[in-house]
Structure 1
């Protein structure tokens, strides 16, 4: 069964299909087969997610990106360091890997746009290619962008509120 996970995940001998890969991964779990990280040999804590190794990878990349706001950078870094799966971490998306940015709506303190994230979000580490596996890397991934008025004034108090919203989303995911 684990071979089916790999085949569907990487498109080896069949069309790449993340949903089928996840389905077969769940079947492996139901049969008490435990998967271990290829790097540190510890058990995965979630679908192909090794918190120990992924934390190291995120830390190595901290110097490769910035939002240009120290509070935002710290917030994203903390989410990455504490992530127990691919749904719990945040990632800074550079503007140059977004396409089809279209105005959607305007609120009291922000504008909302839709866009396509060309790479898509991370879901696991590819040991063969030594890079992150990403969802919808061929077609892109639809995202919502929020442009805050006075975004240069973002501080830790504002991010505390964002953090609580982030926790609510995570708790909802596990409910």
Structure 2
């Protein structure tokens, strides 16, 4: 599989890109959209009818597959009497991501590796995952196109890229992508 990744600063830019990609012949199965959380995904799903994977949702799935942060916190002794032990949930007057009142431990447990592992689960390599992690944390929306094309099908002689991924890149440029990454 080959992919092209577009980073968009606004939901509207991502929606326009999705619509133009579909108009160019890409199917929903070839598109993958990532957002930071449900606040950033609702409008895109409503206006494009394409599912948006949320980074926080992906991390929750990763945790349930045996890589549980709560389990690691309990094993390392950072959860005391249960006060503020709910990770990722904040209530009135509590610090986000606090483990047993120890914000340092929570920062260590919820480091960049958690975001990266969730993105690796989507098939992204280290460089792609790092780029997407930074973009998502800043509130950008990621639109990926994955096709069955292989690198050998691309024009290697410096001519125009007439591949389907070349068409996807053209759409990303037209829709003001802030960054375009040629994926694996």
Q: Identify the TM-score tier after normalising by the shorter chain.
A: under 0.3
Bigger share in strand? 1
Bigger share in helix? 2
Between the two structures, name the one with larger relative contact order (CA 8 Å, sep ≥ 6).
Answer: 2
Could you state the TM-score of these two structures normalised by the residue count of structure 2? 0.24
Could you state the TM-score of these two structures normalised by the residue count of structure 1? 0.25
Larger radius of gyration: 2
